[in-house]
Amino acid sequence: MPLSPPDADADADARLPVTVVTSVDPVLRDLATAAALWDVPRVVVARYDLGPQSLRRVVSDLSGVLEDVTVPLEHACLGCAQREDVLPLLAALAASGRADAVVLALPVAAEPAPVVHALGADDQVAGVVRLAGVVAAVAGASLVDDVLGDALLSELGLPDLEGDDRAVGEVLAHQLDEADLVLADADLHPRASALLQHLCGPAIATSTVAEIGGAAVLAPRRPAAGSRADLRRARHHGVPDGCGVWTLELSSPRAFHPGRLLERIEDLGAGRLRARGSFWLPSRPGTLCAWDGAGGRLSIGGLGGWGLDTPRTHLVVTGTQLGDRDRLRAAFGDVLATPAEEAALRERAAGGAGDGLEPWLGEVPAGHGVPAGE
């Protein structure tokens, strides 16, 4: 797919542009950053690597290494540690005037959403730097299996990922959620290209590490600040089925029945699928519940309240196995609660009864089961 030209309005922005690079492969990550470092003048690369209870920061440009610092991790939240170290670094680089662009290479298997969100949410930093785009560096030949399969990060043989029980697919899917450019180590097979379009949209820019130049890596593609990984806004990109890849949109104003959801969770959430969306439960109608599946894993949890939005159950599922679509449609329809069941479940929750989903969503909030109209 042709790469998008630089955005003229973005070029007129005096803030320091930052391009975030993510990958589950350290070699691919470093190749993507090297393309920008060697091809474009006045580029600074800030590379982060995770070590035992520490985060290593190496800052370099064409003159060599400018800084090599190991930052102790005082807590287990890698996203928090990145934000606490990345934001001051970017602000300092902007103030120094040393760089015309920054490549921020995140630790292998780090998810970009926390940093992307922080860049737009911190007013001080947002005043001096801007997000130019997010690059996801991927293995082209294995992309479909990497996203939809159930391999674990700990099986990749990388010392820093030993003991990491996350699936490769769930991390890679979250990297692709934010991607403006996908760089592969080789030409993508038609099925891999189709999968990327279904997951990222038909306009996603793709190239190979060998073919792309540094200016194309750094070209501004992000039209607005902030993270795009909002499960409440999950949607079908309108890409037609092809090359064995399909996307199914399942939507209803009705809630999931908590009991039947637990009974049919395998039918609705298991398999070689990438699923995103949100749902609600009659027992806790004020809670917006997340649905996030990839790599053979399904995660559900609370995302706060619905605000001004009307509660709705909406899932967008992408897969490659034809039989899964019929299974998903049937399971989705079966798990939806009838109006009579919704009313009964509200009554039960109002009386203090649980709904069986406490291990994932916490206790049913007091008053959440109050029947409609009261």
pLDDT digits (tens, 9 = 90+) for 15-58: 999 999 999 999 999 999 998 888 889 999 999 998 878 889 99
Query: For residues 57 and 93, is the Cβ–Cβ distance under 8 A?
Result: no
Q: For residue 84, give the nearest of 129, 27, 46, 122 by alpha carbon.
A: 122
Q: What percent of the chain has pLDDT over 70?
A: 94
Choice among 51-55, 102-106, 265-269 with the minimum mean pLDDT: 51-55
Which residues span the domain enclosing 338? 232-361
Per-residue confidence band for 368, with pLDDT thresholds at 50, 70 and 90:
low
Domain match, 306 and 356 both: yes
Residue 369 forms part of a structural domain: no
Sign of CA dihedral 79, 80, 84, 87: positive
Structurally, the chain folds into a number of domains equal to 2
Residue 259 forms part of a structural domain: yes
Separation of alpha carbons 283 and 361, rounded Å: 11
| pTM listed for this prediction | 0.91
CA distances from 184 to 83, 90, 165, 276, 318 (A): 27, 27, 25, 24, 21
Domain match, 173 and 278 both: no
Separation of alpha carbons 35 and 32, rounded Å: 5
Q: What CATH number does residue 192 fall under? A: 3.40.50.300
Per-residue confidence band for 367, with pLDDT thresholds at 50, 70 and 90:
low
SS3 291: strand
Q: What CATH number does residue 261 fall under? A: 3.30.1220.10
Domain match, 141 and 12 both: yes
Query: For residues 239 and 202, is the Cβ–Cβ distance under 8 A?
Result: yes
Residue 372 forms part of a structural domain: no
Does pLDDT of 231 surpass 90?
A: yes
The whole-number pLDDT of residue 83 equals: 77
Does pLDDT of 339 surpass 50?
A: yes
Residue 122 forms part of a structural domain: yes
Domain match, 352 and 306 both: yes
Q: Please give the structure tokens belonging to residue 189.
A: 């097979």
Residue 368 forms part of a structural domain: no
Distance of CA 116 to the CA centre of its chain: 10
| Mean pLDDT over each residue of the chain, to the nearest integer | 90
Domain match, 143 and 245 both: no
Separation of alpha carbons 9 and 141, rounded Å: 36
Domain match, 108 and 148 both: yes
Domain match, 208 and 342 both: no
Domain match, 163 and 198 both: yes
Query: For residues 131 and 222, is the Cβ–Cβ distance under 8 A?
Result: yes
SS3 content of the chain, % helix, strand, coil (to 5): 35, 30, 35
Domain match, 225 and 325 both: no
Residue 101 forms part of a structural domain: yes
Does pLDDT of 260 surpass 90?
A: yes
- DSSP E strands in the chain: the ranges are 16-23, 43-51, 54-61, 64-72, 101-105, 129-138, 181-184, 205-208, 246-252, 273-281, 284-294, 297-305, 313-319
Residue 3 forms part of a structural domain: no
Give the mean model confidence (pLDDT) for residues 343-363: 93
Question: Where does a domain end: 229, 256, 283?
Answer: 229
Q: State pLDDT tens for residues 68-98.
A: 999 888 766 777 777 788 999 999 999 999 9
Q: State pLDDT tens for residues 120-166.
A: 888 889 899 999 999 999 999 999 999 999 999 999 988 878 888 99
Per-residue confidence band for 3, with pLDDT thresholds at 50, 70 and 90:
low
Domain match, 183 and 238 both: no
- CB atoms under 10 Å from CB of 162, counted, come to 11
Question: Where does a domain end: 214, 229, 244?
Answer: 229
The string of DSSP codes covering 97-136 is: T--SEEEEEPPTT--SHHHHHHHHH-HHHHTTEEEEEEEE
Question: Where does a domain end: 201, 229, 257?
Answer: 229
Domain match, 50 and 160 both: yes
Quick one: DSSP state of residue 222?
-
Per-residue confidence band for 235, with pLDDT thresholds at 50, 70 and 90:
very high
Choice among 3-17, 55-69, 115-129, 294-308 with the minimum mean pLDDT: 3-17
Query: For residues 316 and 249, is the Cβ–Cβ distance under 8 A?
Result: yes
Residue 55 forms part of a structural domain: yes
Per-residue confidence band for 373, with pLDDT thresholds at 50, 70 and 90:
very low
SS3 89: helix
Domain match, 246 and 174 both: no
Give the mean model confidence (pLDDT) for residues 169-185: 96
